[in-house]
Structure 1
Amino acid sequence: MQSITDKIERRTTTDIVYESLYEAIVSLEILPGTKLSEADIAKKFEVSRQPVRDAFNRLEAQDLLLIRPQKATRVRSFSMERIGHARFVRLAVELEVVRAACQVWKPEYSKLLEDNLKQQKDVVSRSDAEEFHQLDYDFHRLICELSGNPLAFDTIQECKRKIDRLCVLSLGRESEAETLVRDHVALAKALADRDEAMASETIRRHLGRIDKTIEEVHAKHAEYFE
C-alpha cells in the first residue's frame, strides 16, 4: 500500500505536469492537433508515466486533449459546436445570476463593484492586459458571490476557458478592453437600480461581443477546427 507521502508526492508531480501543459495549450504554445506522447512528456519532466497519464486525463476532462485507445493523444482542435454550447451555458448562467442579484442587491454591494471598476479603468489606461483579465475575472466572480450563487462562477469559468484559448488567435483583443469596461459600468448601474431587464440586456450584449471574434478566427484558421 502506498504511504501518504507517496500519494502527496505523486499528486504534486501530476499538478506540475498538468499546469505546465495547460498553460502551453491555452496559450497556443502547443497548437491544436499536436500529438503528445506520455513517454516524451515523462522524459521532459523527468518523472514516471503515471503522473503524466493523470495530467492527460485532467486535460481531457477539460476538452483540451483527445485521448483514443491505440492512437496518438492530440491537443483537441476547436469545435464550433462545443464553443456554441459553452456560449449558451455561460449566457444562461449569467442571466440567472444577475436576475438573482437584482433581487438581493444592497448599496454596499455597489461600492464593491465601484472599487473594482476604478481599477479596471486604471489598468486599461496603462494597457495592462494581464491585470485587466484578472479584474474582469474578479468582477464576474464578485457578482456571483453577491447574488448568493458563488458556485455559479465555476461553471462560468469552465465555459470561458473553452473560448479564451481560441481568442489567442485573434488580433486587437486589447483594444476591446475599453468597450468591456463600459459594459461592466452599465451592468453595475443596472444592479444598483435593481433593474433586471437592463441587467439582462447588458449581459446579452456583453457576452455577444465575442461572436464576431469567433467567426473571424474560424474563417482565418480553419485548420485548427474539427
Structure 2
Amino acid sequence: MNVITPIDETRRQTTADKVFERLQSDIIALRLPPGTKLSEVEMAKVYDVSRQPVREAFLRLGDLNLLEIRPQRATLVKRISLLDIENTRFIRAAVEVEVVRRACRMASPEGLAKIEANLKLQKAAVEAGDVALLHDLDYQFHRLICIVANCLPAFRTIAENKAHTDRICTLELSDAAAMAQILQDHTRILGALIKGDEVGAAESTRLHLSRLDATLAKARENHRDYFED
C-alpha cells in the first residue's frame, strides 16, 4: 500500500518529502504499529540519508498527530486517539461532501472515465482479495474526485485527515464483506457523479464515511493496545 499525503505537485520532492511519505505509509499500513519507538539515527541509516530530512519528516508527522516527539527520548508512533478520529472525520466529511457536490457540476466525460477505470481496478482487487491494492485504489479514487471537481488542493486536507481513519481500516477492513462494501459505496458515488446528482452524491459520501463507526468499535475490541483512550 502506498498511502501518502500528496505534496505540492508543482515542485520537486525533497529528501525530507520522501522520508515523510515512506514513514507515513508505514504508519498507516501498521508496518510501524502504535507504540513503536523510532530514532532519527536509526531511520537515517534505514533510508541512507542524513539526520536532517528524518528530523523534518518526524516534525511533520508530529504535526499530524501520527508521531509523539519526546525531547531527549525516543520518538513514538502515536496510539490511536478517539478524539483525533472524531475531529478528522468531521473535517474530512465537511470537505469531501462539498467536493463531490462540485464534481457533479464540473466533471468532464474524460474525468469520469478515469474514475470509472479506477473502479474497475477496485473490482478486480476485491475479487482477488488484495487488501493493499484496494486501499491504494481507494486513495486514488478520492483524489480523482478532487481532480474532476477542479479542487485538487482540497485533497491535501482529505488525505491528512484520512491518515488517521486509514489506520483503523488497515486493522479491520480486510475481509471480503468489508472490501465489497467499499466497492459498493464507491460505485454509488460514481453513479451520482455521472448523473450530476448533487444530493445523491453528498448522501452517498456521508454514508460511506459513516461506516467507520462499526469498524472503529471492532478495532477497539480486537486491538485495545493500539488505542490511547
TM above 0.5, yes or no, is yes
Change (3 A) 1:181 1:79: same
Report if aligned partners of 1:33, 1:77 keep a CA contact under 8 Å in 2: yes
2:39 is the alignment partner of 1:37: yes
**Corresponding position of 2:127:** 125
Matched residue pairs, number? 216
Matching residue within 189, 193, 196 for 1:194: 196
Letter of the 2:27 partner, please give it.
I
2:58 is the alignment partner of 1:65: no
The DSSP-based 3-state class of the residue aligned with 2:76 is strand
Kindly state the Cα deviation for residue 71 of structure 1 after the two structures are TM-superposed: 4.4
* Distance (Å, rounded) in 2 between the aligned partners of 1:16 and 1:195: 39
Report if aligned partners of 1:129, 1:174 keep a CA contact under 8 Å in 2: no
**Corresponding position of 2:85:** 83
Report if aligned partners of 1:35, 1:75 keep a CA contact under 8 Å in 2: yes
The DSSP-based 3-state class of the residue aligned with 1:95 is helix
- Over the matched positions of the two proteins, sequence identity in percent amounts to 46
**Corresponding position of 2:210:** 208
Q: Greater CA deviation, 112-121 or 197-206?
A: 112-121
The DSSP-based 3-state class of the residue aligned with 1:168 is helix
Q: Greater CA deviation, 98-107 or 188-197?
A: 98-107
Change (3 A) 1:141 1:217: same
Kindly state the Cα deviation for residue 125 of structure 1 after the two structures are TM-superposed: 1.9
The DSSP-based 3-state class of the residue aligned with 1:77 is coil
Matching residue within 146, 149, 161 for 1:147: 149
**Corresponding position of 1:160:** 162
Q: Greater CA deviation, 123-132 or 57-66?
A: 123-132
Any gaps of 5 or more consecutive residues in structure 1? 1-10
* Distance (Å, rounded) in 2 between the aligned partners of 1:69 and 1:221: 28
Q: If the length of structure 2 is used for normalisation, what is the TM-score?
A: 0.80
Change (3 A) 1:43 1:213: same
- In the TM superposition, what are the counterparts of 1:170-185 in structure 2 within 5 Å? 170=172, 172-185=174-187
Aligned-residue RMSD, C-alpha = 2.7
Q: If the length of structure 1 is used for normalisation, what is the TM-score?
A: 0.81
Report if aligned partners of 1:106, 1:192 keep a CA contact under 8 Å in 2: no
Any gaps of 5 or more consecutive residues in structure 2? 1-12
Matching residue within 212, 220, 223 for 1:221: 223
Change (3 A) 1:121 1:42: closer
